[in-house]
A and B are shown apart, each in its own frame.
Chain A
Amino acid sequence: MSEAPRPPRRLALARVPAYVVGLGTVIATAWPAFRPAHEDAFPLSTYPMFARTLDKPELSFVERLDGKRRAHRLSPEQMGSDEVMQAYRTIKRAVRKGPRATETLCRVLAKRVASREQNGREVRLRVVRARFDPVAYFVDDAEPEEREVLATCSARRTP
């Protein structure tokens, strides 16, 4: 009786990473399916983006007031991030934490903006929370339904 030929040793060894890493990666990628969808992580994600229901969401942002008290939005770059969503999360988290965290954020941002001012002008900021109807915002040019100033602060470049 002849025995079946043994697979080459290299191929047999190749099965170890194939199953541990290959199948392991596949199982790990699928694992978030068994977690609540809002519990996201990286790189094993539940991919909840664009999945949540939206009614009239609140949005918090930072405004800079000029000499005539006109408000100008602070860009993500002025907030120290090149990503708009990072800037959005930073403000959102501070607002969620409460008034102290919001005021701290306001002061940190004011100092940062003031440090880049060439002429030493005073930088006045305010953190605002507003409620929008996203579709009406574009279709009817609707203004925010509620608007609340959560923190105000100012800073000047120190010599």
Chain B
Amino acid sequence: MKLLRAFDGYWFAPAPARRLALLRLLVGGFALSFLVGRLPSNLNVAGFVRAEFVPTGVVKLFLRAPLASEVVIGLACLAPVLAVPFVLGFAYRVTAPLFALVLLWVTTYRNSWGMLFHTENLLVLHVLVLVASPAADALSIDARGRPLPEPSGAYGWPARAMTWATTICYVLAGLAKLKLAGPVWLEGDLLRAQIAYDNLRKIELGSGYSSLGAALVHYQAPFLFLAVLTVALELGAPVALIGRRVALVWALAAWGFHVGVAALMAIPFPYQLSFVAYAAFFEVERAYDSVRARVERILPQRAAGKSTT
């Protein structure tokens, strides 16, 4: 019983409403730009060959054959439209769950053609958590004219859930390496071969590749270091749950890892590279206040400068 109470205290540690609201703005803002940027790709799916359809996740629960192309196009266009009220916090209780459902559907449908991309998983999980939380109680249209609520556990648990989901995803990636390849993965030769094969595949399939990765493959030694570092980062991800300083070190290392993946394999993980994926680990409202204070310091000076000229 004591343990349960301790966990409840941890899960419901009070947090300011603005922190959760800022997470909504950051994650929602990223989702909106991502869905707009990926719109051509999501529309392109409407023209895929029916025989290539391999449903996964929720799509597998409802479909055995692809949807009519008009429906695919409609949903792909609807997703960024619904992201707007999510970001603004407008009619949040209705629009946010709708946005999450459409986002989940569109990304899952995009992944239902034989290729699972792994770049959007964390974004979808974070949005699913945010829509079930009171993330529009501050910095939103819904909260206009209302006093800022007191810090509460209701504003704390979503960040907890998001950080846990983030660390678990990394641990799973580390476990997969050990499950599928075993400890030999740590020797680096497999990573070297993976980077070589990924770039080879891109060259042979007529696409852009990483010249840095192709050049590094000539050397064996760096891959031992990179392999050990990768698995340590992935399996060690739960250390980020200990405290904010450790989280900052781990998040910077994870971000550096994704920069490395993009540089050596030309595979960008946009959500992670934007650093928004790690925002839930931090007191984002402090960064917001600091930026806001600076802007306010600069703006009156400019206004004063203009009035004197």
Which chain A residues have a beta carbon within 8 Å of chain B's beta carbons? 10-11, 14-15, 17-23, 25-26, 29-30, 32-33, 36-38, 40-54, 57, 59, 61, 73-76, 78, 80-90, 92-93, 101, 104-105, 108, 130, 132, 134-135, 137-139
**B196, A138: Cβ atoms closer than 8 Å:** yes
In this complex, what residue of B is CB-closest to A52? B180
In this complex, what residue of B is CB-closest to A32? B172
Cβ-based interface call for B168 (8 A): yes
**A11, B152: Cβ atoms closer than 8 Å:** yes
Question: Known: A25-B129, A138-B196. Contact between A38 and B41, CB under 8 A?
Answer: no
**A44, B129: Cβ atoms closer than 8 Å:** no
Residues of B contacting A30 in the complex (Cβ-Cβ under 8 angstroms):
168, 172
Cβ-based interface call for B161 (8 A): yes
**A41, B116: Cβ atoms closer than 8 Å:** yes
Cβ-based interface call for B179 (8 A): yes
Cβ-based interface call for B221 (8 A): no
Residues of A contacting B202 in the complex (Cβ-Cβ under 8 angstroms):
84
In this complex, what residue of B is CB-closest to A76? B207
Residues of A contacting B176 in the complex (Cβ-Cβ under 8 angstroms):
37, 46-48, 51
A-facing mask of B189-225, CB < 8 A → 1, else 0?
0111110111111101111000000100110000000
Cβ-based interface call for B256 (8 A): no
Question: Known: A84-B205, A134-B200. Contact between A89 and B125, CB under 8 A?
Answer: no
A-B contacts, 7 listed (Cβ < 8 Å): A26-B164, A45-B121, A50-B194, A75-B206, A76-B205, A82-B40, A138-B217
Residues of B contacting A101 in the complex (Cβ-Cβ under 8 angstroms):
51
Residues of A contacting B272 in the complex (Cβ-Cβ under 8 angstroms):
none
**18 further interface pairs, Cβ-Cβ under 8 Å (given A84-B201, A132-B200):** A11-B154, A14-B153, A18-B154, A21-B161, A26-B165, A37-B180, A43-B107, A43-B120, A45-B172, A46-B172, A51-B176, A59-B201, A80-B48, A82-B40, A84-B205, A89-B115, A104-B51, A132-B204
Which one of A36, A50, A76, A84 has the greatest number of beta carbons of chain B within 10 Å? A50
In this complex, what residue of B is CB-closest to A137? B200
Of the candidates B112, B164, B165, B181, the one whose C-beta lies within 8 Å of that of A53 is B181
Which one of B56, B132, B153, B205 has the greatest number of beta carbons of chain A within 10 Å? B205
Question: Known: A14-B134, A26-B164, A61-B205. Contact between A50 and B44, CB under 8 A?
Answer: no
Of the candidates B118, B185, B190, B205, the one whose C-beta lies within 8 Å of that of A87 is B205
**B12, A15: Cβ atoms closer than 8 Å:** yes
Question: Known: A14-B153, A82-B44. Contact between A88 and B181, CB under 8 A?
Answer: no
**A14, B116: Cβ atoms closer than 8 Å:** no
Residues of B contacting A19 in the complex (Cβ-Cβ under 8 angstroms):
11
**A88, B173: Cβ atoms closer than 8 Å:** no
Of the candidates B118, B134, B197, the one whose C-beta lies within 8 Å of that of A54 is B197
Count of chain B residues near A, Cβ 8 A = 75
Q: In the bound complex, what is the Cα–Cα distance between A139 and B213 (angstroms)? A: 12
**A42, B107: Cβ atoms closer than 8 Å:** yes
Of the candidates A23, A53, A61, the one whose C-beta lies within 8 Å of that of B204 is A61
Residues of B contacting A137 in the complex (Cβ-Cβ under 8 angstroms):
196, 200
Which one of A22, A43, A93 has the greatest number of beta carbons of chain B within 10 Å? A43
Question: Known: A59-B204, A87-B205. Contact between A41 and B56, CB under 8 A?
Answer: yes
Of the candidates A25, A54, A130, the one whose C-beta lies within 8 Å of that of B193 is A54
A9, chain B: closest CB distance, angstroms? 12
Which one of A22, A87, A135 has the greatest number of beta carbons of chain B within 10 Å? A22
A123, chain B: closest CB distance, angstroms? 15
Sorted nearest first, the 5 A-B pairs with minimum C-beta distance are A14-B154, A134-B196, A22-B161, A21-B132, A47-B173
B4, chain A: closest CB distance, angstroms? 11
Q: In the bound complex, what is the Cα–Cα distance between A104 and B50 (angstroms)? A: 12
A-facing mask of B94-123, CB < 8 A → 1, else 0?
000000000010011001111111101100
A80, chain B: closest CB distance, angstroms? 6
Cβ-based interface call for B177 (8 A): yes
Cβ-based interface call for B183 (8 A): no
Q: In the bound complex, what is the Cα–Cα distance between A132 and B190 (angstroms)? A: 15
Segment 210-244 of B: residues with Cβ below 8 Å from A: 214, 217-218
In this complex, what residue of A is CB-closest to B180? A51
Of the candidates B114, B128, B157, B217, the one whose C-beta lies within 8 Å of that of A93 is B114
